[in-house]
Amino acid sequence: MIKAVLFDLDGTIYYGSKLIDGAKEVVQAYRDSGKQVFFMTNNSTKSRKDIYERLTGMGLLCSLSEIYTSSYASALYAKRKGYKTVYIFGAKGLEDEFRQLGINTSEEAEVVVVGYDMEMDYAKLTAALQVALHAKSIIACNKEKHYPGENAKRMPGCGAMVGALEGSLGRSVDYVVGKPNPLLLDIICTEQNMKKEDIMVIGDTYESDIVMANEYGCDSIYIGEEKHTDTVCVKFIRDILNLSK
């Protein structure tokens, strides 16, 4: 009786720049069955518009309103907390989401937001440390250890950036926005006027996608090779069609 299916992206819909075999057909099958479809990711390097252009460029039709990212969730969280200015230790896509919600970025900010940045170096870490040492709050987009990149190659995740700053500070960040925190699901349900019983999560990472779904109290399908008693486990995304009938 679900009304919407929420797909993780990296490792579930695509690897790097290529759609996973069968992903497009599965998404369309859910649409044809009358379900709403949404895409969510812990990737904080890209804005929602960036992800939209990436998906449509791969041939997967979607709308901007169907896309949710940890960068958007972080900006929305900061807005709800009343922050007017933040310091971004991350990529341009993260900055874009904050600016779109009317939140400025500055080296004088008292709030630091840590996101994934493939161009992170010692100089950027040093600059972020100067602000973080006196910050009232430090927010991490997520603490994901690694993710599947091109051809499923494991790539260091945002946790590498967060860990570098935490190690320099000698303390942990104050709040982690992204998966497995169910905040992203709560945002989707609030904006789309749905209940947790209305949605199902499909993802490839148990400790983020499935744990998030479990904590929120919604259904999930796990795409992976390890078996867990509280999830459906499959090896290929095309199997979802049979599992969901």
Give the pLDDT confidence score for residue 215 in this predicted structure: 95
Per the CB < 8 A criterion, the answer to whether 82 and 105 are in contact is no
Give the pLDDT confidence score for residue 242 in this predicted structure: 52
Give the pLDDT confidence score for residue 46 in this predicted structure: 87
Per the CB < 8 A criterion, the answer to whether 228 and 205 are in contact is no
Instruction: Enumerate residues 6+ apart whose C-beta is below 8 A from 96.
Output: 47, 49, 71
Residue 201, φ and ψ in degrees, nearest 5: -100, 135
Per the CB < 8 A criterion, the answer to whether 190 and 183 are in contact is no
Nearest to 144 by CA among 109, 184, 98: 184
Buried b / exposed e along 165-203 (16+ C-beta atoms within 10 A)? bbeebeeebeebbbbbbbbbbebbbeebebeeebbbbbb
Give the pLDDT confidence score for residue 144 in this predicted structure: 81
Give the pLDDT confidence score for residue 230 in this predicted structure: 41
Give the pLDDT confidence score for residue 7 in this predicted structure: 97
Instruction: Enumerate residues 6+ apart whose C-beta is below 8 A from 136.
Output: 110, 111
pLDDT per residue of the chain (245 residues) written in tens, 0 to 9: 899 999 999 889 998 888 999 999 999 999 999 999 999 999 898 899 999 999 999 999 999 999 999 999 999 999 999 999 999 999 999 999 999 999 999 999 999 999 998 889 999 999 999 999 999 999 999 888 877 777 778 888 788 889 999 999 999 999 999 999 999 999 999 999 999 999 999 999 899 999 999 999 999 999 875 544 343 333 444 454 454 44
Q: In sequence order, what DSSP letters do the residues of 134-174 get, joined into one string?
A: T-SEEEES----EEE-GGG-EEE-HHHHHHHHHHHHTS--S
Task: Please give the domain boundaries of the chain with CATH numbers for all domains.
Answer: 4-69+180-243 (3.40.50.1000), 71-176 (3.40.50.1000)
For residue 148, give both structure tokens: 């599947």
Where residue 55 falls (left for φ over 0; alpha for ψ -120 to 50; beta otherwise) is alpha
Give the pLDDT confidence score for residue 29 in this predicted structure: 94
